[in-house]
Structure 1
Amino acid sequence: MASSVITQSARSSFRWLLASSSRYYSPLLTVSLILPLLVLLAAGFVFPMLRLIDISMPGDAPFSTYLRVFENPLYVEVLLRTFRTAAIVTIACFLIGYPTAYMIAHMRGWSAKLGMACMFVPLWTSILVRSYVWIVLLGRNGIINNSLMELGLISTPLKMLYTEGAVVLAMTHVLMPFMILPIHSALRSVPGTYEQAARNLGAGPIATFWRVTFPLSLPGVFAGCVICFILAIGFYITPALVGGPSALMMATLIGQQTIVLLDWPFAAALSVVLLTATLLLVLIFRRALSFSKGLNSVY
């Protein structure tokens, strides 16, 4: 399923490139220009994916690894937890990131430069460092528990670390820039005259935002949601550091099967299942939001 989707996507992209460039270049020149990119794509993505699918299907029992994934309720639970956590993180990033991007997009002068710096500085910091900070904050002897106990609000430390909530909080913090940047870019591309025209026609601030600004920023919202959702599904470092057995995710499970148990066929099967489910959800998400003409401009 995953290989067919990848092949169809590559064929459609290749036909689109030929059709769009035929107005300016000959077909031979077009093929020669995009050939290095196709070779790089095949060597860096298509071949490893086909190799992964081949590893997941051993010769004696090709589908035994996939049956093992769905026969054990633990693996199905981990898969569902992964998508649930990714969805919660994506929604949290959107609810916090959109107002932040809107505020930065409407800043001027030094405040705009400061806002841009606040967006880019987290990207320059290691994910390992940003994830480890939450251990210092949420631990039993961490800053939050010590502060609450000194204020007399609690008598015993709260269990905040190694929970699903800690994973969601840390992943939201790490992925926030990937939601803010596309939305900020989309908001900056909206001409200010559109909002002025809406205000001149009698629309209030709220109506102007919902009928003009927000619909025109949907390409950035869609791009940010897809980026955050896909990155959250494959997160490994953050769940491994701040999550416990109750917050086990697919990336951590695949890492255990690969490094600890050395069960490469089963780890490959888990990876293929995760990739296929991700592709299906992205296609469904794109189709569900294709009512907006602006969303189609993302592709």
Structure 2
Amino acid sequence: MLVSKPDVGLDVEPTTAAPDPARRNRRTVAGWVLLPAVAVLLVFFFYPLAIIVWRSFTEPAVGLDNYSALFTDGVSVTVLLRTLRTALIVGLATLVIAYPYAYAMTRVSRRMRAVLTVLVLLPFWTSVMARNFAWYLLEQRGGLIDRFFSAIGIDGVVLLGSVTGVTVAMVQVMLPFMVLPLYSTMSTIDLRLMDAATSLGASRPKSFARVYVPLSLPGVVSGFSLVFIVTLGFFITPALLGSPQQSLVSQVIETRVGDLLDFPGAGALGTVLLVVTLLVLFAVSRVARPATALNQAVDRA
């Protein structure tokens, strides 16, 4: 009996794999789980935001009148620049304070790290109003700060009602928002990389500056952007500790809505602030990449 051999050279059409039912079910469940959160965002965030932006372009007439008035009234631009400058100073000040603190959290023992973490989280367990009223008592005339400077021969140091007083208080309020992203990034850095750089001839400060700092840049950028964005629209601290003569954007928006009933003008100012926030987020998405930081550290080393 002759047995025919199969043709080895024949092309066999690949069979299409059937979709995994378990994966499809997981996607369906995930979609249903996300549905309530998406609905809440659409109803309570995106819809009011769209109404605000729409009214800024359509009231009292369709066009850019509200935006042209915003940049020509001589006040809004000054307030916007003051707000940007304050947010920048708060971001830099919190970075200077939080960076060594977060670095120390990665080098101490587990028990000491727990203590440092509690100290960072402690402000979250205290009301924002209570913290700002505490700063109100410290910065007012005759307060602890005024008495301290008077004791060393400097009279009249009253921070209440000034941008300086608002900035000092906001640094304390925003400090945890800088420490936590920094620690989250620093805790993943392998410290043996600095030992390797030292073994290759680099000094300890140089290995820290050329290896550790670039690797920590994603945390620096994330923390700075978070503090910067939150500070741009922060209202409670400027309202309690600031003054109308040196107001920030949040105070101007509240005045336009509550006192002047200028909803389109307030919407235009809020839209400009939203555009600035989106630009910052876009810059963060382009910069805060761990792979990029790692490549830069390798190249510098």
Measured against the shorter chain, the TM-score band is 0.7 to 0.9
Structure 1 residues 74 and 291: alpha-carbon distance in aligned structure 2, compared to 1, 3 A threshold: farther
Indicate the residue corresponding to 2:121 in structure 1. 120
Indicate the residue corresponding to 1:64 in structure 2. 65
Indicate the residue corresponding to 1:15 in structure 2. none
Structure 1 window deviating more from structure 2 (241-250 vs 43-52): it is 43-52
Measure, in 2, the Cα distance between the counterparts of 1:117 and 1:76. 41
Instruction: Tell me the percent identity.
Output: 34
The reply on whether 1:43 has 2:40 as its aligned counterpart is no
Once the 2 structures are TM-superposed, how far is the Cα of residue 89 of structure 1 from its aligned partner?
A: 0.7
Structure 1 residues 258 and 100: alpha-carbon distance in aligned structure 2, compared to 1, 3 A threshold: same
Indicate the residue corresponding to 2:15 in structure 1. none
Q: 8 Å contact 2:177–2:226 — kept in the other structure?
A: yes
Q: How does 1:165-184 map to 2 (within 5 A)?
A: 165-184=164-183
Task: Give the aligned length.
Answer: 271
**5+ residue gaps, structure 1:** 1-21
SS in 2 for 1:72: coil
Deviations 1:96-135 (A, max 9, x none): 1111111122111432221111111012112222122222
Deviations 1:80-107 (A, max 9, x none): 1111111111111111111111112211
SS in 2 for 1:189: coil
Q: How does 1:162-241 map to 2 (within 5 A)?
A: 162-241=161-240
Measure, in 1, the Cα distance between the counterparts of 2:116 and 2:249. 35
Measure, in 1, the Cα distance between the counterparts of 2:89 and 2:82. 10
Once the 2 structures are TM-superposed, how far is the Cα of residue 278 of structure 1 from its aligned partner?
A: 2.2
Deviations 1:225-273 (A, max 9, x none): 1100000001101011111234211111111111222222221121111
Measure, in 2, the Cα distance between the counterparts of 1:241 and 1:133. 11
C-alpha root-mean-square deviation of aligned residues, in Å? Answer: 2.6
Structure 1 window deviating more from structure 2 (221-230 vs 30-39): it is 30-39
Indicate the residue corresponding to 1:33 in structure 2. 30
Q: How does 1:259-298 map to 2 (within 5 A)?
A: 259-284=258-283, 286-287=285-286, 293-294=292-293
Measure, in 1, the Cα distance between the counterparts of 2:77 and 2:279. 17
Structure 1 residues 207 and 111: alpha-carbon distance in aligned structure 2, compared to 1, 3 A threshold: same
Paired AA for residue 55 in structure 1? R
Q: 8 Å contact 2:146–2:158 — kept in the other structure?
A: no
Q: 8 Å contact 1:56–1:265 — kept in the other structure?
A: yes
Indicate the residue corresponding to 2:12 in structure 1. none
Structure 1 window deviating more from structure 2 (163-172 vs 58-67): it is 58-67
SS in 2 for 1:73: coil
Q: 8 Å contact 1:254–1:270 — kept in the other structure?
A: yes
SS in 2 for 1:153: coil
SS in 2 for 1:177: helix
Indicate the residue corresponding to 1:54 in structure 2. 54
Deviations 1:209-235 (A, max 9, x none): 112211111111111011000000011
SS in 2 for 1:217: helix
Measure, in 2, the Cα distance between the counterparts of 1:139 and 1:265. 36
Structure 2 length as normaliser, TM-score?
0.81
Paired AA for residue 265 in structure 2? F
Measure, in 2, the Cα distance between the counterparts of 1:209 and 1:233. 32
Structure 1 residues 41 and 32: alpha-carbon distance in aligned structure 2, compared to 1, 3 A threshold: farther
Q: How does 1:87-102 map to 2 (within 5 A)?
A: 87-102=88-103
Structure 1 window deviating more from structure 2 (48-57 vs 236-245): it is 48-57
Structure 1 residues 120 and 289: alpha-carbon distance in aligned structure 2, compared to 1, 3 A threshold: closer
Measure, in 1, the Cα distance between the counterparts of 2:195 and 2:274. 45
Q: 8 Å contact 1:53–1:268 — kept in the other structure?
A: yes
Q: 8 Å contact 2:218–2:290 — kept in the other structure?
A: no
Measure, in 2, the Cα distance between the counterparts of 1:97 and 1:178. 9
Measure, in 2, the Cα distance between the counterparts of 1:146 and 1:191. 47
Structure 1 residues 289 and 119: alpha-carbon distance in aligned structure 2, compared to 1, 3 A threshold: closer
**5+ residue gaps, structure 2:** 1-19, 296-301
Structure 1 residues 66 and 98: alpha-carbon distance in aligned structure 2, compared to 1, 3 A threshold: same
- Higher-Rg structure is 2
